[in-house]
């Protein structure tokens, strides 16, 4: 992460260059949350975009991924709306409260998506620290 301004989430809904925008719930959309990435606007210094899913206040509210149903990731073509990649998070772990779900990365001039599914018992601040971001 170049600096904390590049961390996009529900309290900071877009990147400095406007290439990444977080959209929260909209009853008109099928997906509950959408992260829109415009590759043509993305700063050339960015080689990877990591997608992390956390459960808000999981430690305080005693929540974990074993309680989450119907979580999935879809990559859509912004122009056509065609689904390019999709996978469902099927494994639910009682000790997991945040998860790196996937990475969009540049490889030999082509953008690719790698589903990760690496869960940890870290809240949002802990997950951010993994990527060098500090929450104030």
Distance (Å, rounded) from C-alpha 7 to C-alpha 36?
Answer: 14
Count other Cβ atoms within 10 Å, centred on residue 97: 26
* DSSP letter string, 104-136: EEEETTEEEEEEEEEEES--HHHHHHHTT----
Structure tokens at 61: 């509210």
Rounded to two decimals, the pTM is 0.83
> Each residue's pLDDT tens digit in the chain (136 positions)?
777 788 888 888 999 999 999 988 766 667 778 888 998 898 888 899 988 888 888 989 999 988 888 778 888 888 898 988 888 877 767 888 888 888 999 999 999 999 888 888 888 788 878 877 776 5
What pLDDT score was predicted for residue 1? 72
* DSSP letter string, 68-110: --S-EEEEE-TTT--EEEEEE-----TT-SEEEEEEEEEETTE
Distance (Å, rounded) from C-alpha 61 to C-alpha 21?
Answer: 28
Which residues touch 72 (CB under 8 Å, ≥6 apart)?
86, 87, 88, 89
């Amino acid at each position: 992460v170049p600096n904390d301004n590049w961390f996009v989430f529900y309290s900071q809904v877009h990147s400095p260059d406007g290439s990444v925008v977080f959209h929260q719930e909209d009853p008109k959309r099928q997906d509950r949350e959408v992260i829109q990435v415009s590759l043509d606007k993305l700063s050339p210094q960015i080689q990877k975009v990591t997608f992390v899913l956390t459960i808000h206040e999981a430690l305080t509210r005693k929540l974990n991924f074993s309680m989450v149903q119907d979580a999935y990731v879809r990559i859509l073509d912004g122009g056509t709306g065609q689904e390019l990649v999709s996978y469902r998070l099927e494994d639910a772990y009682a000790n997991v409260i945040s998860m790196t779900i996937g990475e969009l990365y540049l490889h030999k001039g082509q953008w690719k998506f790698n589903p990760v599914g690496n869960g940890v018992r870290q809240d949002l601040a802990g997950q951010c620290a993994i990527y060098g971001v500090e929450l104030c």
